[in-house]
Amino acid sequence: MDFGPHLMLATLEGTVIASILVLTAMGLSIVFGVMRVVNVAHGEFFMLGAVLAWYVSKMLGGHPAIGFAAALVIAPLVVGLIAAVSDQLILKRINYDPDRTIVGTIGILFIIQQTTLMTFGPEARPVEAPFNQRLALPWFEFSEGGLQMIWPWGLSITSYKLFVIFAALTVLLALWLFLTRTKIGLIMRATQQDSETAKAFGVPVGTVYSCVFGLGAALAALGAVLVVPIQQAHYLMGADPLLMAFTVVIIGGLGSLPGTVIAAFLIGMSDGIISVFFSPTLAQIIATFLVAMILVFRPQGLMGKAET
Amino acid sequence: MTIKTTKNAVSRRKALLGLGVGAGALATSGLMPGAMGFAQAQSSAPIKIGFQKHATGIGAAYGRWYDATTTAAIQRINDSGGINGRPVEIVTEDDGTDPSRGAEALEKFEKLHSCDVAFGTLFSHVVIGSAPRAAELKLPYFVVSEGHHVASGMLNRYTLQPGITDVKSQVVSMAPFIANNLGKKVTMIFPDFAFGHDHRDFFTQAIEAQGGEVVAKIAIPPTETSFTRYFPSIPRETEVIYHVMVGPAVLTFVKEMGEFFGPSRPELFGFIDSLEAVGIDSPGLEFLESTYFWEGMPRHVQDNQSEAEKTYRAAVGCDDRGASLDDPADVSTYAHMFGCWETLNVIKAGMEAADYQGPQDRTKLIEAVEAMSDMPESLDHPQGAKRFNGKTHQVFGQQFISKVTEGKMVVEHVATIEDGLYEDEVDYTTQSF
């Protein structure tokens, strides 16, 4: 394939990866920002979202769009609820102690993963996309006859992948409005800035924590429902998104939402483009190297505020 | 961040109590009474076969069906009186589809469970990681892995593959069909580890011998989940795409390949590994219509189905489309799992020929299997006749090429045992035990 169309294909693939990544990383970032909890089980909430999407679409049957639309609502709700309950049952009992929450969430990770293996099984199971047309894309080329439009071999995207990009943007916008324009958002931001003072002003910090933990997990689950018609639901699928989300959150700045968005697109695009032209391994090496450099020279991340 | 050092360690008494309970549980599970009613042999204790299973990790879908086949085969063996008048018991250990855990599993078979032989496992990196340990433990290790590592001489006298053919043999017998019917300029897409490298190396040689060439080789990491970005490396001149992928993302791979090419695809020749445990009628796979697949054993029932195949299919619980009888969406790994059934029957035949009584007879068992040669098609060998090569510890058999025709895989060509033979690369019988 020529360089131009090849680059365009890589950019499109990178944008799809980045769109899913931004939702997953956003969940991780909100949880850390408000609760100061490093949630190692985040990837498993992602996986749970995909698995539930499969169950929902299988149970409803009919046109794939029905099951998919239902999954889009039900899966994040259920996953959010599971997360909120595990916050009440586990994280609250250990007083959100930073070290013990890491061990606690590792425990949650194993419980969710192995329960899925025992019930859902080891297979990768597909969920049908609500719509999936292949759209061939044109490319413009200067030749003797002036500007010409050509249709290069393999340069295409599917309508569903475009939908994923738009859906992710919509969710991001909604999330931003929720955090900045609603009262619940205000309470969450107050808890984030100073939980003790918030408590003194009558904010039920414990409930806010459970809601935030649920919201973080629900965002991961939503990302998974969007991705499951492209990939398949599988009990080990949580590992990669967790690693990528951590990379994004460290580069963007833990707890910083704009930083997370910027970093997600940076990592998603570099993963898409570098792995097309060089190798996927190199893309991972560069991302890891970037994390190391950020930790050395700007530990608070691109947009994070330095701790005083 | 402040680090709190709360010293709330478990008390010593509690720890000892916990250990005691654990040890007790292990001891009880080891004392499970064996099945009764077997003919009086010198020892009526069960023969224990350690089954190394991909219960978790990327091979778990294979592990589950290897388990189902193994259970069915053992039941048949026990129903007909066991081996040398003794019942057979399977001891299962999870290898996590991981080489180091595979070696640990063998160690447990020998030291914890006192197994007579070890058996199982598909993924080549697990076999390659486990085999040296089998030789150290002097534990006969029967693998069902397809890789060329057994016949290449890379492993040892304790490792044998009597139930499934190896990649080199499969590839050698496929190349003439591809070159003569599909095209001579081939792009290969394969997983980036030993099994994929076997495909790459042997197919490149085999197609050149037929006057064709491999125009591009695309290696994909085995844990990859997104594939579109690899496809632009397929050269425009490609006439045939040869694909063989494994792992949980196989369906994504095939689907994205279809989306990449759209209506103007080259010919496709795939190893069914790219779709094991996946229904051919899954959404997004419509473009596979009239493409070709290698199958170790035809997943869909053919018109000329043999009596043995019919009985075997029912015993392992599969319907006419190779899916579970309970759930038509639960597709088996039909093209590979017959290897477990046949390997267990070879172990039985070997133990009977060697009059196997216990671990002291392990070398006699290996020599007895090495002495085997032609095995006719029967219920012991439902995939078809086999020819075992005692020197290379590798079996040879027929191969199937199926064409997807209206959603069904119809066998188009059967390669004979002779088509897949190649020169010996090792003589394990000259190695000392």
HEC readout, A20-39 = HHHHHHHHHHHHHHHHCCCC
In a domain, B181, yes or no: yes
**At A273, which CATH number?**
1.10.3470
A307 found inside a domain: no
Looking at the complex, does the CB of residue A109 fall below 8 Å from at least one CB of chain B? no
Place of tokens 């433990």: B137
Q: Are residues B264 and B409 in the same domain?
A: yes
- The burial of A10, by beta-carbon neighbours within 10 Å (0-12 exposed, 13-18 middle, 19 or more buried), is given as buried
What CA–CA distance (Å, rounded) separates A215 from A171? 12
**Which residue type occupies A186?**
L
- Residues with Cβ within 8 Å of residue B294, at least 6 apart in sequence: B170, B174, B269, B270, B271, B272, B399, B400, B401
The answer to whether residues B269 and B407 belong to one domain is yes
Residue B92 C-alpha, separation from nearest chain A C-alpha, in angstroms: 16
B118 within 8 A of B106, measured Cβ to Cβ: yes
In chain A, the residue whose alpha carbon lies closest to the alpha carbon of B261 is A154
Q: Using the beta-carbon criterion (under 8 Å), do B262 and A136 form an inter-chain contact?
A: yes
By C-alpha distance, the chain A residue nearest B2 is A98
Partners of A17 on chain B (C-beta within 8 Å) are: 226
Using a CB-CB distance cutoff of 8 angstroms, which residues of chain A are in contact with residue B252?
A: 124, 230-232
Any domain includes B232: yes
A132 and chain B in contact, CB less than 8 A: yes
Helix (H, G, I), strand (E, B) or coil at A122: coil
Report CB contact under 8 Å: A134, B248.
Answer: no
User: Is the confidence at residue B277, as pLDDT, over 60?
Assistant: yes
pLDDT for position B42: 61
CB of A121 within 8 Å of a chain B CB? The answer is yes
Give pLDDT, residue B6: 43
Q: What pLDDT, on the 0 to 100 scale, is given for residue A307?
A: 53
Q: Which of residues 245-284 of A touch B (CB under 8 A)?
A: 272, 275-276, 280-281
The structural domain count of chain A equals 1
CA distance B61 to chain A (A): 5
Is B58's CB within 8 Å of A97's CB?
Answer: no
Measured distance CA(A121)–CA(A234) in Å, rounded: 8
**Encoded amino acid at B405, one letter:** T
pLDDT in tens, B367-385: 999 999 999 999 999 999 9
In-domain check, residue B372? yes
- The per-residue pLDDT for B22 is 45
Within-domain flag for A126: yes
Chain A residues whose CB is inside 8 A of the B67 CB are none
Same domain, B172 and B46: no
Q: Is A3 on the interface with B (CB under 8 A)?
A: no
Same domain, yes or no, for B189 and B212?
yes
**Nearest CB to A231 within list B57, B225, B278:** B225
The rounded radius of gyration (Å) of the Cα atoms in chain B is 23
Contact B227, B247 (CB under 8 A): no
Domains of chain B: total: 2
Spatial distance between the Cα atoms of A20 and A1, rounded to a whole number of angstroms: 27
Give the model's pLDDT for residue B7: 43
Question: What DSSP designation does A231 have?
Answer: S
Residue B414 phi/psi, 5-degree rounding, is -115, 120
Pair B188, B158 in one domain: no
Q: Residue B385 belongs to a domain with what CATH number?
A: 3.40.50.2300
The nearest CA of chain B is from the CA of A181 a distance in Å of: 32
Output phi, psi for B283, to 5 deg: -60, 140
Q: Could you report the predicted ipTM of this complex, rounded to two decimals? A: 0.80
For chains A and B, CB pairs below 8 A equal 91
A304 within some domain? no
Confidence of residue B32 (pLDDT cuts 50, 70, 90): very low
- CA–CA dist B314, B331 (Å, integer): 14
Check whether residue B181 and residue B150 sit in a common domain. Answer: no
Same domain, B146 and B200: no
User: Does residue B238 have a pLDDT over 80?
Assistant: yes
For residue B33, pLDDT beyond 50: no
Choice among A8-12, B11-15, B27-31, B118-122 with the minimum mean pLDDT: B27-31
pLDDT of B20 > 60? The answer is no
Res B36: pLDDT = 40
Residue A306 pLDDT = 60
CB-based contacts of B417-420 (< 8 A; 24+ apart in sequence)? B417/B385, B417/B386, B417/B387, B419/B172, B419/B173, B419/B176, B420/B165, B420/B169, B420/B170, B420/B172, B420/B173, B420/B396
pLDDT band at residue B207 using 50, 70 and 90 as cut-offs: very high
Range of the domain at A157: 3-297
pLDDT given for residue A215 in this prediction: 95
Contact A124 B249 (CB under 8 A): yes
Residue B28 confidence (pLDDT): 41
Yes or no, beta carbons of A230 and B252 under 8 Å apart = yes
- Using the predicted structure, report yes or no on whether residue B5 has a pLDDT greater than 80: no
Judge whether A64 is closer than 8 Å to chain B, CB to CB: yes
Interval B112-169: pLDDT, tens: 999 999 998 899 999 999 999 999 999 999 999 988 999 999 999 999 999 999 999 9
Coil, strand, or helix at residue A284? helix
**pLDDT means over runs of 10, chain A (308 residues):** 80 89 92 89 96 93 89 96 94 90 94 92 85 83 75 82 94 92 90 87 90 95 94 88 90 84 89 79 86 88 68
Nearest to B259 among A121, A126, A158 (CB): A158
Is the domain of B387 the same as that of B402? no
**Using 50, 70 and 90 to split pLDDT, how confident is the model at B41?**
low
pLDDT per residue as tens digits for the range B393-428:
999 999 999 999 999 999 999 999 999 999 999 999
Mean pLDDT over residues B209-220, rounded?
92
Residue B299 sits in the same domain as residue B364: no
pLDDT at A68: 92
Instruction: Tell me if B312 is assigned to some domain.
Output: no
Q: How far apart are CA A49 and CA A52, in angstroms?
A: 5
Instruction: Report the percentage of chain B scoring pLDDT > 90.
Output: 70
Q: Are residues B365 and B405 in the same domain?
A: no
Shortest Cα distance from B283 to chain A (angstroms)? Answer: 6
- Choose among A116, A113, A154, A108: nearest CA to A135: A154
Say if residue B194 is in the same domain as residue B243: yes
Mean pLDDT of chain B: 88
Interatomic CA distance for residues B61 and B80, integer angstroms: 30
The CA distance from A267 to A274, in Å, is 10
pLDDT greater at residue A98 or residue B40: A98
Residue B390 in any domain: the answer is yes
Minimum distance, in Å, between the CA of residue B293 and any CA atom of chain A = 21
**pLDDT greater at residue B35 or residue B353:** B353
For residue B251, give its domain range.
167-304+398-420
Residues B97 and B109 in one domain: yes
- Confirm whether A302 is domain-assigned: no
